Amino acid sequence: QAAADPMSSSDAPEDGPKETSSISQNISDADAFKILLEMKMKKRQKKPTLPSTVTELDTEDGSKVYVVGTAHFSDSSKKDVVKTIQEVQPDVVVVELCQYRVSMLKMDEKTLLKEAKEINLEKLQQAIKQNGVMSGLMQMLLLKVSAHITEQLGMAPGGEFREAFKEASKVPFCKFHLGDRPIPVTFKRAIAALSFWQKVKLAWGLCFLSDPISKDDVEKCKQKDLLEQMMAEMIGEFPDLHRTIVSERDIYLTYMLKQAAKQIELPRASENEPRKYIPAVVVGVVGMGHVPGIEKNWNSDLNIQEIMSVPPPSASSKIFKFVIKATVFGLMGYGCYRIGQRTVQFILSMPAAQSYLQKLTEIKSQH
């Protein structure tokens, strides 16, 4: 920016060298780009010293992708992300977030901690409106699991993504991409993959997941993602659920990383100058549970059209949806009945009401 927008002559000291100002003003945008790019390349380490959680992948055209496997509730993961971005000075940073969760990048730790612990009716209504009844309920149950871990650890999730966002903004010409599949698609496909009884069983397990987290579990967070571990244990008996929540997202994340790793076009001084491209450097920040799947899919031809489609609701989904609605309306109706009954009893117990009823009785007996 300093090269492209130098200090104007009116702001420069009168006794200062005028040649510097005139030279600066003659720098074109392309030259400024080249200067900053050279500065970035000098800062980029040819043989970077990377954390053990980083997996290095290469593309056919020579681009490099550094995948940082993180635990969503770990301070050490944040440090790994910062160190990796500083060492390799990437052209693109890709994170395991979609547009529905991007708000966590701009919230501070205190606000996120409060938000994660508060699961109320308003959030439930918003989730159902956004994703449908079944998917919304499933999302709220998973949020309950995340809130449980948040409360036990006293740490808000997504710290590594916020650090990636901050560090990417410090690197010249570094783009920031959201690399995860949209949540509504994931949940709708997950619900469609389960039978009626599987949905009931999974919901039951999520509702009663409240075991305390020990200090040993907190330490394990630094090596493995506790949330993904708990989810893996829970969905292990549902292969179709594992496919939609984990395996399909591995494919989507791999596809997005490969798209981000396309070669970069260098600026040209004129239209007549031939186009020149250089390999890109990409940093991917994903939960460590996705790293093996990304490695497995890296050299495959990927098509994400199939995993982006949402199948129509099955008969079991319609039945379950009807049962949920009937239960909700039934409870609301019973609540209104009980409130009305108690209200009437309270009014009748008041002295003024009893006196009025006694007078009515006397008038009736006289007639």
For residues 131 and 200, state if they share a domain.
yes
187 against 19, higher pLDDT: 187
Report angle CA 227, 104, 84 to the nearest 5 degrees.
75
For residues 174 and 252, state if they share a domain.
yes
For residues 109 and 255, state if they share a domain.
yes
For residues 341 and 247, state if they share a domain.
no
- Taking residues 35-58, report their average pLDDT: 89
For residues 234 and 339, state if they share a domain.
no
At residue 92, the pLDDT reads 97
Task: Indicate whether 24 pLDDT > 60.
Answer: no
User: How far apart (Å, rounded) are the C-alpha atoms in residues 176 and 267?
Assistant: 20
Which range marks the domain in which residue 352 is found?
Answer: 319-361
At residue 177, the pLDDT reads 97
- Taking residues 5-25, report their average pLDDT: 42
For residues 349 and 307, state if they share a domain.
no
Domain boundary pick from 293, 312, 331: 312
How far, in whole angstroms, is CA 58 from its chain's centroid?
A: 26
User: How far apart (Å, rounded) are the C-alpha atoms in residues 232 and 12?
Assistant: 63
For residues 303 and 327, state if they share a domain.
no
At residue 58, the pLDDT reads 97
- Taking residues 185-192, report their average pLDDT: 83
Whole-number percent of the chain with pLDDT over 70: 55
For residues 261 and 284, state if they share a domain.
yes
For residues 300 and 324, state if they share a domain.
no
196 within some domain: yes
Q: Are 131 and 188 in contact (CB under 8 A)?
A: yes
Burial class (CB in 10 A: 0-12, 13-18, 19+), 343: exposed
82 against 327, higher pLDDT: 82
62 against 346, higher pLDDT: 62
At residue 71, the pLDDT reads 83
Task: Indicate whether 62 pLDDT > 80.
Answer: yes
6 against 154, higher pLDDT: 154
For 314-332, what is each residue's pLDDT tens digit? 565 556 566 666 666 666 6
Task: Indicate whether 68 pLDDT > 70.
Answer: yes
112 within some domain: yes
- Taking residues 179-189, report their average pLDDT: 88
At residue 356, the pLDDT reads 65
- In eight-state DSSP terms, residue 367 is -
User: How far apart (Å, rounded) are the C-alpha atoms in residues 106 and 128?
Assistant: 24
At residue 243, the pLDDT reads 85
Backbone angles phi, psi at 204, to 5 degrees: -60, -45
296 within some domain: yes
- Average confidence score pLDDT of the chain: 75
255 within some domain: yes
- Taking residues 280-303, report their average pLDDT: 94
Whole-number percent of the chain with pLDDT over 90: 29
For residues 219 and 324, state if they share a domain.
no
For 215-270, what is each residue's pLDDT tens digit? 566 556 545 555 555 555 555 567 777 788 889 999 999 999 999 999 988 777 67
Q: Are 193 and 128 in contact (CB under 8 A)?
A: no
All residues at 6 or more sequence positions from 279 whose CB lies less than 8 Å from its CB, including other chains:
59, 61, 62, 63, 64, 263, 264
- pLDDT bin (cut points 50, 70, 90) of residue 55 is very high
22 within some domain: no
For residues 128 and 262, state if they share a domain.
yes
223 within some domain: yes
Task: Indicate whether 64 pLDDT > 90.
Answer: yes
- Taking residues 19-39, report their average pLDDT: 67
At residue 283, the pLDDT reads 98
Distances (CA, A) of 198 to 82, 211, 235, 311, 349: 41, 22, 10, 18, 50
Mean pLDDT check: name the lowest of 50-54, 68-72, 145-149, 359-363. Answer: 145-149
- Taking residues 121-135, report their average pLDDT: 63
> Between the CA atoms of 245, 250, 255 and 260, what dihedral angle is there, to the nearest 10 degrees?
110
For residues 166 and 221, state if they share a domain.
yes
Mind giving me the DSSP string for 235-261?
A: HTT-HHHHIIIIIHHHHHHHHHHHHHT
- pLDDT bin (cut points 50, 70, 90) of residue 67 is very high
Nearest by Cα to 138 from 231, 243, 248, 247: 231
Mean pLDDT check: name the lowest of 86-95, 142-151, 220-229. Answer: 220-229
Q: What is the total count of domains within the chain?
A: 2
